[in-house]
């Protein structure tokens, strides 16, 4: 399929009295061109399909759609396409909890057992704050062995989802560690329903989406006829395929919402302008509680700027939203392809606008040097990263994954353009490399060279 592109550039000019004033723009010169250049490797590798919006002070500075919302009908993605958000849902769940706090109906320090009466004794110290910050120690139901292969097609009530891991031991003492936990946000949805007397879907619609005018956002129900809903796709070693079916009762308050880039820009401005939460609750949401995580948002300083962001991944979809609140910058990336590194793209696009990120530059290495890195490297018993050479280009391919070129930034140091990852080789003199280190997602994983059979 030929990749279709729909482009809408900056919003042009704003009327200010009798004269026209320039719209807000990124400090980075020729931002739209640099943003497109950033996306080129993803498009050439057919690893992105979706819609992107970058805005400064609420005004779009770059908005573009790529690929198809429905590949079987060759219907292009547009700014109106609705995408499943996955875990971006969590920030709306956290907002609903904080609204109930503002109304005096609960406290984040309340134990979950106050609302979930079937809580086991092991949960006696688990609070709503622990659930919000992924520090409860409750096992995540999505981490159950073969959950997606065996259980993801059958509907469950929120209580039914909670019961999947309710009687399992805690993974650690509440508050002692951080472990991303979807069950925690299912419990938060349960609390919202218990306290408000509304379903989760009705609550967020009535108290968040409708007041803000987010008309293209809601709880996704597969059987509903939803205009402009994108179909979801997954990568395989043989190319793109339709994503596996997922009953949308299962992601629930941890991942079942859909939206558009335009509605998420409305959301960004509502957070910036304090329209939806009290100042105290907004501060609570964006406080780092020790693990670069607040309430439904990742939080970290980047080159002296505060960045808040979150990604989402759900069958057929990959999403990311990255905000620099003090700079008025937001990047929203919604993809209907699971193989798209949407959150990394959003963070890079936002950083490019603010000036905290620049794409790495590749150098040229002799072919003899490149050959020292060729080989198979074992990251785990089930995953091997194989490095091959095609001409003067090294190619990486993980087990059952598509191949991707890697580019040298220095001898022994390489980066990928379509994945936010770097590779360092352990190598001395003219001998072949003995290992590599994969730097990805804040982790460094060492992989020794596989022994020749």
Tens of each residue's pLDDT in the chain, 453 residues: 333 333 333 333 233 333 444 678 898 889 999 999 999 999 998 999 999 999 999 999 999 999 999 999 999 999 999 999 999 999 999 999 999 999 999 999 999 999 999 999 999 999 999 999 999 999 999 999 988 888 889 999 999 999 999 999 999 999 999 999 999 999 999 999 999 999 999 999 999 999 999 999 999 999 999 999 999 999 887 889 999 999 999 999 999 999 999 999 999 999 999 999 999 999 999 999 999 999 999 999 999 999 999 999 999 999 999 999 999 999 999 999 998 999 999 999 999 999 999 988 999 999 999 999 999 999 999 999 999 999 999 999 999 887 889 999 999 999 998 888 899 999 999 999 999 999 987 789 999 999 876
If asked whether residues 138 and 219 sit together in one domain, one would say: yes
- The count of structural domains within the chain is 2
Q: Does residue 73 lie within any of the structural domains?
A: no
Laid out side by side, the sheet with 317-324 consists of 5-8, 59-66, 50-56, 329-335, 317-324, 305-314, 298-302
Q: What is the pLDDT of residue 9?
A: 39
Q: What is the pLDDT of residue 33?
A: 95
Q: Does residue 179 lie within any of the structural domains?
A: yes
**Exposed, middle or buried: residue 444 (CB in 10 Å: 0-12, 13-18, 19+)?**
exposed
If asked whether residues 273 and 380 sit together in one domain, one would say: no
Q: What is the CATH number of the domain that holds 385?
A: 2.40.128
Residue 361 tokens read as 């530059």
If asked whether residues 294 and 389 sit together in one domain, one would say: no
If asked whether residues 254 and 391 sit together in one domain, one would say: no
Q: What is the CATH number of the domain that holds 133?
A: 3.40.710.10
Chain CA centroid to CA 385, Å: 24
If asked whether residues 130 and 202 sit together in one domain, one would say: yes
pTM above 0.75, yes or no: yes
Q: What is the pLDDT of residue 420?
A: 80
Q: Does residue 33 lie within any of the structural domains?
A: no
Report the distance separating Cα 55 and Cα 59, nearest Å.
5
Report the distance separating Cα 69 and Cα 83, nearest Å.
9
If asked whether residues 273 and 412 sit together in one domain, one would say: no
If asked whether residues 389 and 339 sit together in one domain, one would say: no
Q: Does residue 31 lie within any of the structural domains?
A: no
If asked whether residues 319 and 396 sit together in one domain, one would say: no
Q: What is the pLDDT of residue 11?
A: 32
If asked whether residues 322 and 408 sit together in one domain, one would say: no
| 236: helix, strand or coil | strand
Q: Does residue 302 lie within any of the structural domains?
A: yes
Residue 352 tokens read as 């490019």
If asked whether residues 343 and 405 sit together in one domain, one would say: no
Range(s) of the domain holding residue 396: 367-448
Q: Does residue 79 lie within any of the structural domains?
A: no
Report the distance separating Cα 350 and Cα 321, nearest Å.
9
Residue ending a domain, among 298, 330, 354, is: 354
Q: Does residue 26 lie within any of the structural domains?
A: no
Q: What is the pLDDT of residue 22?
A: 60
If asked whether residues 263 and 403 sit together in one domain, one would say: no
Q: Does residue 78 lie within any of the structural domains?
A: no
- Report the 10 Å Cβ neighbour count for 121: 6
Question: Which of 103, 123, 94, 121 has its CA nearest to residue 111?
Answer: 123
If asked whether residues 336 and 393 sit together in one domain, one would say: no
């Amino acid at each position: 399929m030929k990749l279709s592109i729909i482009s809408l550039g900056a919003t042009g000019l704003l009327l200010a009295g009798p004269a026209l004033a320039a719209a807000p723009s990124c400090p980075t010169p020729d931002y739209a061109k640099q943003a497109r250049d950033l996306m080129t490797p993803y498009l050439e590798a057919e690893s992105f399909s979706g819609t992107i919006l970058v805005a400064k002070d609420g005004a779009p500075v770059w908005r573009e759609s790529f690929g198809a919302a429905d590949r079987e009908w060759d219907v292009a993605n547009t700014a109106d396409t609705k995408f499943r958000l996955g875990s971006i849902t969590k920030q709306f769940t956290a907002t609903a909890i904080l609204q109930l706090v503002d109304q005096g109906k609960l406290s984040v320090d309340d134990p979950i057992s106050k609302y979930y009466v079937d809580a086991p004794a092991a949960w006696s110290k688990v609070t709503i704050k622990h659930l919000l910050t992924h520090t409860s120690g409750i096992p995540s139901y999505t981490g159950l062995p073969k959950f997606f292969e065996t259980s993801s097609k059958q509907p469950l009530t929120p209580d039914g989802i909670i019961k999947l891991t309710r009687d399992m031991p805690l993974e650690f003492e509440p508050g002692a560690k951080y472990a991303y936990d979807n069950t925690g946000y299912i419990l938060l949805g349960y609390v919202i329903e218990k306290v408000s007397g509304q379903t989760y879907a009705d609550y967020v619609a009535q108290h968040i989406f409708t007041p803000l005018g987010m008309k293209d956002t809601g709880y996704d129900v597969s059987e509903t006829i939803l205009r402009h809903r994108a179909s979801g796709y997954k990568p395989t070693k043989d190319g793109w395929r339709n994503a596996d079916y997922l009953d949308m009762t299962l992601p629930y308050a941890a991942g079942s919402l859909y939206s558009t880039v335009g509605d998420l820009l409305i959301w960004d401005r509502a957070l910036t302008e304090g329209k939806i939460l009290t100042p105290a609750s907004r501060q609570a949401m964006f406080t780092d509680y020790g693990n670069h995580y607040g309430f439904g948002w990742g939080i970290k300083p980047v080159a002296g700027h505060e960045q808040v962001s979150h990604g989402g991944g759900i069958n057929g979809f990959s999403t990311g939203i990255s905000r620099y609140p003090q700079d008025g910058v937001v990047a929203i990336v919604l993809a209907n392809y699971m193989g798209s590194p949407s959150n990394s793209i959003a963070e890079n696009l936002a950083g490019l606008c603010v000036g905290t990120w620049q794409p790495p530059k590749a150098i040229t290495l002799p072919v003899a040097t490149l050959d020292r890195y060729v080989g198979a490297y074992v990251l785990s018993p089930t995953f091997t990263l194989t490095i091959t050479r095609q001409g003067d280009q090294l190619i990486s391919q993980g087990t059952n994954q598509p191949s991707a070129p890697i580019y040298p930034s220095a001898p022994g140091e390489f980066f990928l353009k379509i994945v936010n990852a770097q590779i360092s080789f352990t190598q001395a003199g003219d001998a072949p490399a003995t290992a590599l280190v994969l730097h990805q997602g804040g982790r460094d994983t060492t992989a020794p060279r596989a022994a020749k059979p």
